Copies of this chain bind each other. A is one copy, B any other.
């Protein structure tokens, strides 16, 4: 499997899934609305817009992680392609989970579903990473410390999404906020990081 075509296909799915998110923001049909009716219908979409921004950040992070991971990888075998397909299947499902979350932002099943899909993404990432480590698919130049740091970072991400998902059973709104905090933590660059290329 040629790594560049593998990456191009993955990038395509990430880019399409991130762009499809906008279909989760739907203006209800109004018949010749007044200015007040139209603007209140648009205001009423703000949970959908928050969910849109959240998922944009989530998929954006995943794309960056994918990129950072495969830069270190020398070769891609069939099992990697399979696990990557799992990851992409979970990622491409995010638009549905996002539109459900945006429409029902304070309900248990919608916030749980959202966390479930993100946890599936994180699971696929962890399985793929473990496989790559076991097969020693990394470039020789990649140090053990870098690999260990990646393993730890991936586990922390998995735990974060899983806890936020479980939180949905107790307090859906808190769960939604947790997703936002996790995404903000990962997506906003921190001081020194941005110095390095």
Contacts and interface: CB of A to CB of B under 8 A. Distances in A.
Interface stretch (A4-12, A121-129, A139-147, A155-163): A4-12
B109 A81 contact: no
A197 B103 CA distance: 45
Contacts of A35: 107-109
A81 B7 CA distance: 18
Contacts of A195: 77
Chain A interface SS verdict (over half): helix
Interface size band for A: 35 or more
A187 interface: yes
A72 interface: no
Identical copies in the complex: 4
A75 to B, nearest CB: 5
A173 interface: no
Contact of A109 (B5, B39, B76): B39
A13 interface: yes
Interface string A1-35: 11001011101111111111111010100000101
A158 to B, nearest CB: 21
A104 B15 contact: no
A175 interface: no
Interface of A: 1-2, 5, 7-9, 11-23, 25, 27, 33, 35, 38-39, 42, 52-53, 56-57, 60, 63-64, 67, 71, 75-79, 81-82, 85, 88-89, 92-93, 95-96, 99-100, 103-104, 107-110, 113, 187-189, 193-197
